[in-house]
């Protein structure tokens, strides 16, 4: 993880609570709809109720927990439609970031950074098929999307992109874990990289509409992968957070 986004409260205990509960949720140790008891979590995480409580409130804000009217929280369950919408939302926001970057212009040094990242991804993608370095690809892909966010030049926009990315199945690297097994996915990486280049070129040429359109379309690769993965339960288990899906 390149940076820890806007505010990931430094306070040790509360941070442990947030991370711990997130882990419990996304690893599937607690099921969607299940009620999360503060005392239970306190015991499991070895913390007192106070930081656990703070963590719960925060994760509710993040959207992975739901408030029970009578009090307490449950794990939110997502439908496949929710995930489609979350991916669409990411596309819209990244598209906006790309457009703003194009319209407002970016500094030469940042343009250079972007080209450097693209070159790195090229190295990975153009390598031999049998020695494909997936972790490296995931890393550089995340860096590209991180930079795109920054290039928007807007804290307000960056913040919202961070928020959507916190829904793990909406992020640009969500389906990478499931990809090594499937040949068709390899193709999508090549296509994805072509789109990266198009976005970068559009920003450089200050073609805002094109930058937005391509960035938006780029996110739909994820939707395509989602459809693929949803047909296979074994694959679903490899995508973080996809266990929260239940019609």
Q: Which is nearer to DNA, 11 or 246 (CB)?
A: 11
How distant, in Å, are the alpha carbons of 2, 107, 230, 245 from that of 96? 22, 18, 28, 28
Q: How many CA atoms lie within 13 A of 76 on its CB side?
A: 17
Contact status: 12 vs DNA (CB under 7 A): yes
Binders of DNA among residues 126 to 165 (CB under 7 A) are none
Q: Which two tokens stand for residue 137?
A: 């690809």
Q: Which among 115, 84, 139 is positioned nearest to 199, based on CA atoms?
A: 115
Tell me, by CB under 8 A, how many residues bind a copy of itself: 31
- Contact letters (x/-) for a copy of itself, 194-213, by CB under 8 A? --------------------
Q: How far is the CB of 9 from a copy of itself (least distance, A)?
A: 7
Give the CA diameter of the chain: 57
Q: Kindly indicate which of the ranges 65-73, 82-90, 157-165, 228-236 contains the residues binding DNA, using the contact rule CB under 7 A.
A: 65-73
d(CA 148, CA 101): 8
Task: Find all residues with CB under 8 Å of 109, minimum gap 6, and list them.
Answer: none
List the one residue from 110, 163, 166, 220 that touches a copy of itself (CB under 8 A).
Answer: 163
d(CA 72, CA 213): 42
Return residues touching a copy of itself (CB under 8 A).
7, 9-11, 54, 57-58, 60-61, 63, 67, 69, 71, 81-82, 85-86, 88-89, 92-93, 96, 100, 154-157, 159-160, 163-164
Return residues touching DNA (CB under 7 A).
11-14, 35-40, 47-51, 53-54, 68, 70-72
């Amino acid at each position: 993880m390149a940076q820890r986004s806007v505010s990931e409260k430094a306070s040790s205990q509360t941070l442990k609570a947030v991370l711990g509960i997130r882990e419990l949720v996304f690893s599937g140790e607690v099921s969607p709809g299940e009620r999360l008891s503060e005392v239970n979590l306190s015991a499991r995480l070895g913390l007192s109720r106070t930081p656990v409580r703070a963590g719960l409130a925060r994760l509710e804000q993040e959207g992975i927990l739901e408030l029970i009217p009578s009090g307490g929280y449950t794990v939110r369950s997502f439908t496949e439609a929710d995930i489609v919408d979350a991916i669409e939302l990411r596309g819209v926001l990244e598209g906006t970031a790309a457009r703003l970057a194009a319209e407002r212009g970016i500094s030469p040094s940042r343009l250079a950074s972007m080209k450097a990242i693209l070159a790195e991804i090229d190295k990975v993608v153009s390598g031999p098929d049998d020695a494909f370095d997936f972790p490296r690809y995931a890393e550089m892909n995340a860096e590209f999307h991180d930079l795109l966010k920054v290039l928007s030049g807007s804290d307000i926009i960056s913040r919202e992109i961070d928020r959507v990315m916190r829904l793990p199945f909406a992020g640009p690297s969500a389906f990478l874990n499931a990809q090594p097994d499937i040949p068709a996915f390899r193709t999508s990486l090549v296509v994805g990289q072509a789109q990266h280049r198009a976005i970068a070129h559009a920003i450089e040429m200050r073609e805002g509409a094109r930058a937005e359109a391509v960035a938006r379309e780029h996110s739909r690769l994820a939707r395509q992968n989602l459809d693929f993965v949803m047909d296979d339960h074994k694959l679903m288990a490899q995508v973080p957070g996809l266990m929260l899906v239940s019609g």
